[in-house]
């Protein structure tokens, strides 16, 4: 499919966003970058812009389509998307079929885990330096609002980072709106897929998108999504500093084995609360659980309000104070390379 000769504002903005996101990746000619594409406007615009910029920079851009098999006709959508990507010039396009296992985390989380597993497999197979994801400014705003609603702390409100901490995933479009990605596709005549689940309000994110954000825009004025996205960006800078300080604090007050963490209570008590709670959070996370605030607070009680309490039984973790130490034990093996 040949591109229209005139460069539209949306095309320029999306391509610039992709180009700028590559600046700090230490790319070289011949590098391989993967892009995940569902066929929707966001990921299709990203794929097209990445291919354009890749051709200019002599960077190889390949595409992966993850078929979750959760909707009737999902393979037809995947095949149609593969056809579009091939037509615009992709040499490598693969469909990764996954089976989503229902778990206590819920279907959305299970689908996300299956998707990222497939993306990792694809990237490893092709030696891709990074995988690009099509999350937009609107997605970021929704993530911030969901984090606020759940009361899950600064990390959730900080939203999605442009580059994941492990360096595997890149989100070039966090400054680009969904309206712009749609315009990009329309300007180039790219036929994108509209996922019916994006209108299904049984999903919390869809409720935020269709019901909450429009009300905020109407009552508080335009620009709410951009403001929420800016909030996430500011918090990410703050969190980066706090996490670095917390890592040093953890090293100074905690000792680890393959199935336990031992924390020095005197050292923990001297830390600022923001660092102490992060030390406990990391300790529980290393032992295989995703701690809630109430669980972190209950461990802190063993430090700040110690009067001989019985051991705590948290999900997958047993926590006990002995003298001036808090011992967290798990039957699970600690995450490799975490400490």
**Measured between alpha carbons, how far is residue 236 from residues 67, 155, 205, 222, 229 in Å?**
31, 8, 21, 24, 11
**Measured between alpha carbons, how far is residue 314 from residues 262, 275, 290, 320 in Å?**
16, 21, 10, 11
- Beta-bridge partner residues of 319: 312, 328
Helix (H, G, I), strand (E, B) or coil at 130: coil
Tell me the pLDDT band of 103, cut-offs 50, 70 and 90. Answer: low
Tell me the pLDDT band of 331, cut-offs 50, 70 and 90. Answer: low
Interval 131-159 mean pLDDT: 89
**What are phi and psi for residue 94, nearest 5 degrees?**
-125, 145
What is the predicted pLDDT for the residue at 332? 61
Tens digits of residue pLDDT in 42-73:
999 999 999 999 999 999 999 999 998 878 88
Give the chain's mean pLDDT.
90
Q: Which CATH number, 1.20.210.10, 1.10.3720.10, 1.20.59.20, 3.20.20.140, labels domain 257-330? A: 1.20.59.20
Tens digits of residue pLDDT in 265-275:
999 999 999 99
Tell me the pLDDT band of 152, cut-offs 50, 70 and 90. Answer: low
Interval 113-130 mean pLDDT: 95
Percent helix / strand / coil, the chain, rounded to 5: 50, 15, 35
Tell me the pLDDT band of 147, cut-offs 50, 70 and 90. Answer: confident
User: Domains of the chain: which residue ranges?
Assistant: 9-136+166-203, 257-330
Q: Is the pTM of this model over 0.95?
A: no
Does residue 105 carry a pLDDT above 70? no
Interval 219-225 mean pLDDT: 91
Interval 177-185 mean pLDDT: 97
Q: How many CB atoms lie within 10 A of CB 197?
A: 12
CATH 3.30.365.10 correct for 9-136+166-203: no
pLDDT above 70 covers what percent of the chain?
94
- Do 324 and 265 meet the contact criterion of CB atoms below 8 Å apart? yes
How far is Cα 36 from Cα 41, in angstroms, rounded to an integer? Answer: 12
What is the predicted pLDDT for the residue at 70? 79
How far is Cα 175 from Cα 173, in angstroms, rounded to an integer? Answer: 5
What is the predicted pLDDT for the residue at 26? 84
What is the predicted pLDDT for the residue at 3? 46
Q: Where are the beta strands (DSSP E) in the chain?
A: 32-36, 60-67, 93-97, 131-132, 169-170, 254-256, 260-264, 312-314, 317-322, 325-330
Does residue 339 carry a pLDDT above 50? no
Does residue 5 carry a pLDDT above 60? no
Does residue 123 carry a pLDDT above 90? yes
How far is Cα 241 from Cα 235, in angstroms, rounded to an integer? Answer: 10
275 Cβ contact partners less than 8 Å away, ≥ 6 residues apart: 242, 245, 246, 249
What is the predicted pLDDT for the residue at 111? 84
Does residue 335 carry a pLDDT above 90? no
């Amino acid at each position: 499919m040949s591109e229209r000769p005139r460069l539209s504002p949306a095309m320029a903005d999306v391509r610039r966003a992709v180009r700028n996101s590559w600046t700090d990746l230490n790319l070289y000619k011949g590098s391989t970058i993967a892009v995940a594409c569902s066929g929707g406007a966001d990921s299709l615009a990203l794929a097209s812009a990445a291919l354009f910029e890749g051709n200019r920079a002599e960077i190889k851009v390949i595409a992966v389509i993850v078929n979750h098999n959760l909707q009737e006709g999902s393979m037809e959508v995947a095949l149609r998307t593969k056809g579009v990507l091939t037509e615009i010039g992709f040499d490598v396009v693969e469909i990764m079929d996954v089976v989503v296992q229902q778990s206590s985390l819920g279907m959305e989380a299970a689908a996300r885990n299956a998707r990222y597993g497939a993306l990792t497999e694809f990237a490893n197979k092709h030696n891709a330096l990074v995988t690009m994801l099509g999350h937009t400014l609107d997605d970021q705003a929704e993530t911030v609002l969901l984090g606020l609603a759940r009361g899950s702390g600064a990390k959730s409100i900080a939203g999605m980072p442009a580059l994941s901490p492990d360096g595997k995933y890149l989100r070039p479009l966090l400054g680009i709106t969904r309206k712009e990605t749609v315009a990009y596709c329309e300007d180039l005549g790219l036929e994108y897929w509209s996922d019916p689940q994006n209108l299904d309000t049984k999903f919390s994110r869809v409720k935020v998108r269709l019901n909450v954000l429009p009300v905020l825009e109407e009552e508080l004025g335009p620009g709410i999504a951009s403001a929420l996205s800016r909030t996430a960006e500011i918090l990410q800078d703050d969190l980066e500093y706090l996490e670095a300080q917390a890592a040093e604090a953890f090293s100074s007050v905690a000792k680890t084995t393959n199935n336990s963490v031992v924390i020095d209570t005197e050292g923990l008590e001297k830390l600022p609360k923001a660092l102490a709670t992060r030390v406990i959070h990391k300790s529980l996370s290393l032992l295989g659980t995703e701690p809630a605030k109430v669980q972190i607070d209950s461990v802190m009680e063993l430090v700040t309000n110690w009067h001989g309490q019985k051991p705590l039984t948290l999900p997958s973790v047993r926590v006990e104070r002995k003298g001036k130490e808090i011992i967290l034990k798990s039957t699970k093996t600690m995450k490799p390379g975490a400490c």
